[in-house]
Amino acid sequence: MSTESGFVTSATELRAYAPAADLSIASPSSRDSGAQARPRTSPQHLRTEPGPVRFVIIGLAVTFLTVFVVLPLVVVFAQAFSKGVGAYFSALAEPEALSAIWLTLLVAAISVTLNLVFGVMAAWAISKFDFRGKTFLITLIDLPFSVSPVISGLVFVLLFGAQGFLGPWLQAHDIHVLFAVPGIALATIFVTFPFVARALIPLMQEQGTQEEEAAISLGASGLQTFFRVTLPNIKWGLLYGVLLCNARAMGEFGAVSVVSGHIRGETNTMPLLVEILYNEYQFVSSFAIASLLAMLALITLVVKTVLERRLDEGQVPYDH
C-alpha cells in the first residue's frame, strides 16, 4: 500500500517536472517517431500553460524583480563607487563612519546576545510546556513584527524621555538612556526579539519532549539535558534565528532613529549615518556606508539559503 503510493508519487513528480524542463513547448510528437496523428493536448501540457502564456508570465516576474529589487541594489554599489575606489575607501575611513560602524557592531552584539538567551528560553517554555496564557505569550513575542518601527521607538521615548514616565527619575540620577547607547540597544532588542523565538518554536514543537524525557529518565540533570539533547537538535534553527536577528539589528532604522537623537560621532548607527549623509548630499559617503549594509544583507541571504537547506534535511522525519 505505502510502496504503491510511493511509486505513484515518483511517477507524478516525473510528470510534474517534465513540462517545465525548458521554456520551449516540448512537442510530444518530436519524441515519437510514429507517423500517426498526435494529440493537440498532451499530458505534457496537462499541468502547464501554452508557451506564449509561460513566456509572458516569466517575463513579467523577471522584469518586476529586476526593476524593483535588483536595480535598487545595483544603484547602491554604483553610487558608492561613482567617484572611484579611492573615494569609496576614504569615505569609509572617516571618523564619523568608523564610529557608526563601531556603534552598530556594539548594539548588534548586545541585542543578539540577549535575544539569543531569552529567545531560546521563550521558545523552550512555549514548545515544551503547557500553561495558561500561552497564546498571549506567543502574541506578545510576535508583536514587534507587526508594530511600526517608529512606534517601537516611540514607546521608549515615552518611558525614558524627559516627559516620560521614568524621565525625571533618570535625570535626577544622571542616567542617560535616551539619545545614548542603552536606548538604542533597548529599541533594537525590542524590534529583533521575535527572530530567535520564532525560528525555534516550530522546530522544538515538532521535536516534542520525548528525547528530553528519555534523557531525564536516564539520569541527566536539567542543564545536561538542555546542552546535550535539546541544543544539538535545534542548532541550525538557532543559527538561522541569530542570523536574521543580527541582520535586522544592524539594519534597524526607524526605531533607532526615534531614540538616538542623532548625535554625530556618538549615537549614529550605520543606517542613521546613511540618512544624514544623504540629506547632506554627500552621496558617495552615504552610499559607501549603505553598500556595507547591502553586503551584510547579501551575505545574510546566502547563509540563510544554506541554513534553510540544512533545516530541510534535518526535518526529514525518521519514523515514517
Within 18-50, residue ranges assigned H as helices are 28-31
Q: How many CB atoms sit inside 10 A of residue 114's CB?
A: 17
Give 209's Cβ-side CA count (13 Å radius): 11
One-letter amino acid at 197 equals A
DSSP H/E element including 38: none
Contacting residue, 108, 110, 127, 149, with another protein by CB under 8 A? 149
Q: Tell me the per-residue interface mask from 284 to 303 with another protein, x by CB under 8 A, - otherwise.
A: --xx--x--xx-xxx-xx--
Name the segment binding another protein (CB under 8 A); options: 122-130, 168-176, 211-219, 234-242. Answer: 122-130
20 contributes a contact to another protein by CB under 8 A: yes
142 contributes a contact to another protein by CB under 8 A: yes
CB 252 within 8 A of CB 149: yes
Contacting residue, 95, 305, 316, 320, with another protein by CB under 8 A? 305
Give 136's Cβ-side CA count (13 Å radius): 3
Q: Tell me the per-residue interface mask from 174 to 213 with another protein, x by CB under 8 A, - otherwise.
A: ------------x--xx--x--------------------
Contacting residue, 112, 127, 161, 207, with another protein by CB under 8 A? 161
Q: How far is CA 5 from CA 9, 11, 320, in A?
A: 6, 10, 14
Is the CA virtual torsion 233, 239, 242, 243 positive or negative?
A: negative
Cα–Cα distance, 189 to 146 (Å, whole number): 15
Helix (H, G, I), strand (E, B) or coil at 112: helix
Q: How many CB atoms sit inside 10 A of residue 312's CB?
A: 10
62 contributes a contact to another protein by CB under 8 A: yes
Nearer to another protein, 237 or 251 (CB): 251
Residue 45 Cβ vs another protein, minimum distance, rounded to whole Å: 7
Name the segment binding another protein (CB under 8 A); options: 6-14, 95-103, 227-235, 312-320. Answer: 6-14
Contacting residue, 27, 70, 231, 309, with another protein by CB under 8 A? 70
118 contributes a contact to another protein by CB under 8 A: yes
Residues 6+ apart with CB under 8 A from 176: 170, 182
Nearer to another protein, 150 or 175 (CB): 150
Contacting residue, 129, 132, 172, 317, with another protein by CB under 8 A? 129
109 contributes a contact to another protein by CB under 8 A: no
Contacting residue, 182, 254, 265, 314, with another protein by CB under 8 A? 254
Contacting residue, 157, 196, 203, 215, with another protein by CB under 8 A? 157
List the Cα angle 57/58/63 in 5-degree steps.
100
Contacting residue, 91, 100, 154, 177, with another protein by CB under 8 A? 154
Site size toward another protein, by CB under 8 A: 114
CB 128 within 8 A of CB 203: no
Q: How many CB atoms sit inside 10 A of residue 5's CB?
A: 10
Nearer to another protein, 30 or 219 (CB): 30
Site for another protein in 77-96 (CB under 8 A): 79
CB 117 within 8 A of CB 245: no
231 contributes a contact to another protein by CB under 8 A: no
